[in-house]
Chains A and B, each alone.
Chain A
């Protein structure tokens, strides 16, 4: 079974600064995806960034980037130039690759609550 660990329940960062959220996972799978989801007060689950395990290059999406260390099973999220709108709960998640007729699921960490302050 897969496990995902987020060891920082809460973090705070000042506007315009950079913050890194940590995530480690455990799996015996070779083909999988890793995700960071943002959950603002509206409770909506918003995909921030996705990383395919077979890709060595770290994924980036505008101000969001990841540091994917496959051997260490580490998947941290870096938010640059933090904005007030980044205030949210952030979840790290794992999903093994699946195909038609097979099952998979997203396994989530317990989340990191990020507060961006003025």
Chain B
């Protein structure tokens, strides 16, 4: 079954404590990306990756890092989270005409 697996589903953390949200896909897709969803703003792209070791900034990259060491995995790293990064996060993996989404991660930074 085609799948994008994101973990954790929920996370509460404190300001400044490094965290990683994992994302894994089983479809051998080259292209993956991260989005954040905020009320009234829709989903905005944070970072994307066109293949292993190839990543680039999206529309709202400040405060985030990513890595793509393997094709299937694309973790999102917050090295020093701040309250304005409280949001709903989605990982997506792309075929040429469709995106597949993970289940979402609700992050709260206090």
Q: Which of B11-19, B62-70, B71-79, B99-107 participates in binding chain A? A: B99-107
* Alpha-carbon distance A111/B104, docked complex (angstroms): 17
13 A-B contact pairs sorted by A residue (CB < 8 Å): A33-B98, A43-B104, A44-B104, A47-B98, A50-B98, A98-B94, A101-B50, A103-B31, A105-B45, A105-B58, A106-B45, A108-B42, A109-B42
- List the B residue with the shortest CB-CB distance to A100: B30
Please report the number of residue pairs spanning A and B whose Cβ atoms sit closer than 8 angstroms.
56
Minimum Cβ distance to chain B for residue A32 (Å): 10
Question: A97-B96, A108-B35 are known contacts; what are 17 more A-B pairs with Cβ within 8 Å?
Answer: A9-B40, A43-B104, A43-B106, A44-B103, A44-B104, A45-B104, A47-B98, A52-B97, A95-B99, A98-B96, A103-B31, A103-B56, A104-B94, A105-B33, A106-B92, A110-B41, A110-B42
Query: Interface size of B by Cβ–Cβ distance < 8 Å?
Result: 27
Q: How large is the interface on A (under 10, 10 to 19, 20 to 34, 35 or more residues)?
A: 20 to 34
Provide the B15-56 mask, 1 if CB < 8 A to any CB of A, else 0.
000000000000000110101000011111100101100001
From B43, B48, B97, name the one whose CB has the most chain A CB atoms within 10 angstroms.
B43
Inter-chain contacts of A28 with B (CB < 8 A): none
